């Protein structure tokens, strides 16, 4: 909670207590900061009314730029009177005693680290009619750049490089570094035996270097560079040393910057030539937006991963597949990784964030008698190992997956079909991520090689009236589900914000990076780095329905559509995988790969089938959505190889959908029988 500075204002709710005093803020949360950080003071206090309770533990810190005071008792709910009585005293002590946090002599707010955990149970939940509230993350620690020599060295090298490059005959007008540290421990087992166990650290540098000015620079769309002659290193972020003195690290940054300047210089020459001789592009927007500099520093997340325990757990999980002789692949991977990003730019931004990711990934496959490969997957994601599902729950899910594979192996092959269908909540989430989400990414509306599906559809209906869509990277969880697309600042140093994309069926906004397009001159915090370059990309894409029916009612309506269309059956897509194409050179279509599909007959019978793909074009598919249920499915995944994303949706009824036969490779089932399972 925050107060705007009205003297004497008091606001209380279940998340904390705030007291405004002139331009001073004081906040109470139910988690205390650890001891020993600069700019913090702790003390204990007891209330006469609560002498039988444990002493209160407080943490106070001051934001040097806004004079914000944060007061954090560890157990304030048990001591409400004490919290109120200490507010004024805490403000006075903090104002007098706390030194400001500074960066190069400038005040910088030292902010809080992520520390919220939620269990992922994989079960659908009832959908709320109103958007979930943004969480208040418990505070773990604060820091300043002086305590991080890597961040200090990165900024020093940025200043040195920018000062020199801005004085050249062809000067640089903008320079940004993003240094990404990743530590990942991964263990993998198959059929009860450990396959691998690794502990890997990597560090890569992303350089955004621009020549020209904000209106026209070397990144101008439609300009090509001879990448083949520049070498493979120019196509991605630059590997950096993970140890050694700061000067060794700075030398590697210098080499990466030099390479990127040469690439930018060649691009800039091409831009000037092409813009002089070719017709101007339809979208005359600037190449780069001006955004306010941000300062945000948090402590690095803690590793809680027990590697030995994870190895034993992976063995136990994967041993469940031994009981099923027809399963050809049965692997389990358990991992924890911490990604720490340091970002600095020539506009004055200094940002450090650190995020943990914990995953359990289960993959299994079998093969039907006709040679068709049938894969199924399970994925669990959380921000702490302790909030992953229990071992009993995971084993139960693996057993259910194994039984489903056995059923698929003997299921009939489907035939081409067009007609009504239901997409489960999770299948709808994947559907919206692939089919809708990629087409609302702003950069795709500017590139002339893209189909620009929604370029001229802003303020027009693109979905039914009862559907709304928003993208919110600040939303940490939905119910008990952690959302992988959570972040505080994007990869261009822009603060993450919630964006209403569709309101009551009408397209309102697009997802924007710092590459403007017509009608959208600013970023809305969705610039995410892929293949070495920042571009507009999804975060947490959430679909909401203002009109909902039960799952039973949705099936009833499907059967009514089947009968009205005189179709022999409808389809129910329980789970899918997918991809989409948005370029003009190929059909602007999608191809979603169903993994679990049922026929639903007019009498209500359900029959598992296999062997087809869901195909179509986006605008036609969206126009056929007629109803939504009251269940919510969450899809957590990695998009474009390295971008964590989530999508959330209710189940959907579609009046017409098309499927085609799946590609079937001429493979045979194993010639030899599988070894018998252990008794």
Is pLDDT at 76 greater than 50 in this prediction? no
* Contact in structure between 18 and 25 (CB atoms under 8 Å): yes
Is pLDDT at 288 greater than 70 in this prediction? yes
Considering the domain boundaries, does residue 50 fall inside one? yes
Could you tell me if 349 and 424 lie in one domain?
no
Domain boundary among 52, 84, 107: 107
Q: How many CA atoms lie within 13 A of 480 on its CB side?
A: 12
Give the model's pLDDT for residue 407.
97
Mean pLDDT of 469-474: 97
Give the model's pLDDT for residue 133.
34
Q: Into how many domains does the chain fold?
A: 4
Give the model's pLDDT for residue 101.
38
Is pLDDT at 602 greater than 70 in this prediction? yes
Higher pLDDT, 47 or 187: 187
Considering the domain boundaries, does residue 604 fall inside one? yes
Least confident of 64-68, 96-100, 500-504: 64-68
Is pLDDT at 669 greater than 90 in this prediction? no
Identity of the highest mean pLDDT range in 21-30, 100-109, 452-461, 576-585: 452-461
Buried residues in 75-84 as b, exposed as e (16+ CB within 10 A): bbeebbebbb
Is pLDDT at 98 greater than 80 in this prediction? no
Domain boundary among 274, 297, 320: 297
Considering the domain boundaries, does residue 137 fall inside one? no
Could you tell me if 270 and 370 lie in one domain?
no
Three-state SS at 48: helix
Is pLDDT at 405 greater than 50 in this prediction? yes
Each residue of 475-486: pLDDT tens digit?
999 988 899 999
Is pLDDT at 673 greater than 50 in this prediction? yes
Least confident of 273-282, 467-476, 584-593: 584-593
Could you tell me if 93 and 216 lie in one domain?
no
Considering the domain boundaries, does residue 670 fall inside one? no
Q: Cβ–Cβ contacts within 10 Å for residue 282, how many?
A: 10
Q: Sheet containing 60-63: give its strands across.
A: 40-41, 60-63, 68-71
Q: Is the Cα dihedral 638, 643, 644, 645 positive or negative?
A: negative
- Give the helix/strand (H/E) hosting 318: helix 307-318
The CATH number of whichever domain residue 399 belongs to comes to 3.30.2290.10
Spatial CA neighbour of 58 closest among 76, 80, 37: 76
Give the model's pLDDT for residue 235.
56
Q: Is the Cα dihedral 3, 6, 11, 16 positive or negative?
A: positive
Question: Residue 237 carries which DSSP code?
Answer: P
Confidence at 14, pLDDT banded by 50, 70, 90:
very low
Could you tell me if 515 and 496 lie in one domain?
yes
Could you tell me if 590 and 454 lie in one domain?
yes
Each residue of 108-153: pLDDT tens digit?
343 333 333 322 333 444 443 333 333 323 223 344 666 899 999 9
Considering the domain boundaries, does residue 275 fall inside one? yes
Higher pLDDT, 470 or 80: 470
Considering the domain boundaries, does residue 675 fall inside one? no
Residues 6+ apart with CB under 8 A from 372: 413, 610, 611, 662, 664, 665
Considering the domain boundaries, does residue 155 fall inside one? yes
Domain containing 156 equals: 145-182+202-297
467-471/481-482 β-pairing: unpaired
Could you tell me if 577 and 553 lie in one domain?
yes
Could you tell me if 260 and 316 lie in one domain?
no
Give the model's pLDDT for residue 557.
98
Could you tell me if 548 and 652 lie in one domain?
yes
Give the model's pLDDT for residue 145.
60
d(CA 18, CA 111): 17
Is pLDDT at 59 greater than 50 in this prediction? no
Residues 6+ apart with CB under 8 A from 346: 158, 162, 174, 175, 176
Chain CA centroid to CA 6, Å: 36
Give the model's pLDDT for residue 163.
97
Spatial CA neighbour of 208 closest among 147, 144, 291, 272: 291
* Contact in structure between 577 and 597 (CB atoms under 8 Å): no
Least confident of 175-184, 207-216, 662-671: 662-671
Q: Sheet containing 16-19: give its strands across.
A: 10-13, 16-19, 27-28
Mean pLDDT of 202-208: 96
Residues of the chain with pLDDT > 70: what percent? 72
d(CA 620, CA 632): 24
Could you tell me if 364 and 489 lie in one domain?
no
Q: Cβ–Cβ contacts within 10 Å for residue 181, how many?
A: 18
Strands (E), 75-146: 102-103, 106-107, 125-126
Is pLDDT at 15 greater than 60 in this prediction? no
Each residue of 151-171: pLDDT tens digit?
999 999 999 999 999 999 999
Mean pLDDT of 589-612: 92
Could you tell me if 207 and 311 lie in one domain?
no
**Averaged pLDDT of the chain:** 78
Give the model's pLDDT for residue 502.
97
d(CA 111, CA 28): 15
Least confident of 192-196, 385-389, 534-538: 385-389
Beta partners for residue 616, in sequence order? 590
Considering the domain boundaries, does residue 132 fall inside one? no
Q: Measured between alpha carbons, how far is residue 113 from residues 139, 302, 487 in Å? A: 6, 10, 11
Confidence at 44, pLDDT banded by 50, 70, 90:
very low
Burial of 60 (0-12, 13-18, 19+ CB in 10 A): buried
417-423/350-367 β-pairing: unpaired
Could you tell me if 422 and 394 lie in one domain?
no
Each residue of 563-595: pLDDT tens digit?
999 999 999 999 998 654 444 444 556 778 899
* Contact in structure between 599 and 569 (CB atoms under 8 Å): yes
Residues 6+ apart with CB under 8 A from 95: 24, 62, 67, 69
Give the model's pLDDT for residue 135.
31
Domain boundary among 409, 429, 454: 409
Least confident of 141-150, 296-305, 358-367: 141-150
Spatial CA neighbour of 504 closest among 470, 463, 542: 463
Residues 6+ apart with CB under 8 A from 6: 20
Confidence at 419, pLDDT banded by 50, 70, 90:
very high
* Contact in structure between 412 and 517 (CB atoms under 8 Å): no
Could you tell me if 66 and 207 lie in one domain?
no
């Amino acid at each position: 909670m925050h107060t705007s500075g009205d003297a004497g204002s008091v606001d209380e709710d279940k998340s904390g207590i705030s007291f405004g005093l002139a331009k001073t803020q004081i906040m109470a949360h139910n988690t205390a900061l650890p001891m020993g950080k600069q700019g913090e003071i702790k003390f204990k206090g007891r209330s006469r009314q609560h002498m039988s309770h444990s002493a209160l533990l407080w943490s106070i810190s001051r934001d040097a730029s806004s004079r914000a005071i944060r007061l954090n008792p560890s157990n304030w709910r048990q001591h409400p009177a004490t919290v109120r009585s200490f507010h004024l005293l805490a403000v006075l002590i903090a104002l007098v005693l706390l030194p400001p946090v500074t960066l190069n002599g400038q005040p910088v707010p030292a902010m809080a680290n992520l520390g919220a955990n939620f269990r992922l149970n994989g079960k659908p939940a009832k959908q709320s009619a109103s958007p979930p509230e943004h969480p208040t993350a418990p505070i773990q620690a604060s820091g300043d750049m002086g305590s991080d020599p890597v961040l200090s060295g990165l900024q020093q090298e940025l200043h040195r490089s920018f000062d020199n490059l801005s004085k050249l005959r062809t000067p640089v007008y903008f320079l940004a570094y993003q240094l990404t540290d990743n530590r990942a421990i991964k263990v993998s087992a198959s059929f009860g035996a450990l396959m691998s166990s690794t502990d890997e650290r990597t560090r890569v540098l992303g350089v955004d270097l621009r020549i020209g000015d904000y209106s026209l620079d070397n990144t101008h769309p439609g300009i090509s560079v001879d990448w083949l002659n520049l070498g493979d290193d120019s196509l991605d972020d630059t590997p950096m040393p993970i140890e050694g003195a700061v000067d060794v690290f700075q030398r590697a940054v210098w080499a990466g910057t030099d390479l990127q300047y040469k690439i930018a210089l060649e691009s800039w020459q091409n831009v000037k030539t092409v813009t002089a001789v070719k017709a101007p592009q339809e979208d005359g927007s600037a190449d780069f937006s001006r955004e306010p500099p941000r300062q945000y520093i948090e402590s690095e997340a803690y590793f809680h991963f027990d590697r030995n325990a994870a190895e034993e757990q992976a063995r136990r999980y994967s041993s469940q597949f031994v009981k099923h002789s027809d399963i050809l692949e049965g692997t389990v991977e358990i991992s924890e990784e911490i990604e720490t990003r340091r970002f600095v730019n020539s506009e004055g931004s200094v940002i450090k964030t650190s995020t943990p990711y914990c995953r359990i990934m289960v993959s299994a496959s079998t093969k039907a008698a006709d040679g068709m490969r049938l894969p199924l997957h399970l994925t669990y994601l959380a921000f702490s190992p302790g909030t992953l599902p229990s071992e009993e729950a995971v084993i139960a899910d693996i057993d259910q997956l194994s039984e489903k594979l056995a059923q698929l192996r003997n299921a009939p092959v489907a035939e081409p079909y067009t007609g009504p269908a239901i997409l489960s909540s999770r299948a709808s989430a994947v559907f919206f991520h692939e089919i809708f989400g990629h087409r609302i990414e702003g950069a795709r509306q500017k590139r002339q090689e893209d189909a620009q599906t929604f370029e001229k559809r802003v303020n027009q209906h693109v979905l039914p009236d009862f559907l709304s869509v928003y993208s919110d990277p600040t939303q940490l969880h939905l119910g008990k589900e952690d959302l992988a697309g959570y972040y505080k600042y994007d990869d261009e140093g822009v603060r993450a914000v919630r964006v209403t994309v569709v309101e009551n069926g009408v397209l309102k906004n697009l997802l924007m990076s710092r590459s403007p397009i017509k009608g959208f001159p600013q970023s809305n915090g969705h610039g995410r780095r892929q293949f070495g370059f920042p571009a507009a990309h999804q975060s947490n894409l959430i679909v909401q329905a203002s009109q909902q029916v039960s799952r039973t009612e949705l099936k009833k309506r499907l059967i009514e559509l089947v009968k009205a269309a005189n179709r022999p059956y409808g389809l129910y897509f329980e789970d899918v995988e997918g991809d989409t194409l948005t370029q003009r050179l190929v059909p602007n279509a999608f191809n979603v790969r169903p993994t679990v599909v049922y026929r639903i007959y007019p009498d209500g019978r359900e029959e598992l089938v296999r062997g087809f793909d869901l195909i179509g074009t986006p605008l036609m598919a969206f126009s056929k959505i007629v109803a939504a249920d009251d269940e919510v499915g969450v899809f957590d995944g990695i998009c474009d190889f390295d971008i964590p994303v989530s999508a959330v949706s209710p189940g959907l009824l579609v009046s017409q959908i098309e499927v085609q036969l799946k590609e079937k490779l001429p493979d045979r089932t194993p010639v030899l029988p599988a070894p018998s399972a252990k008794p």
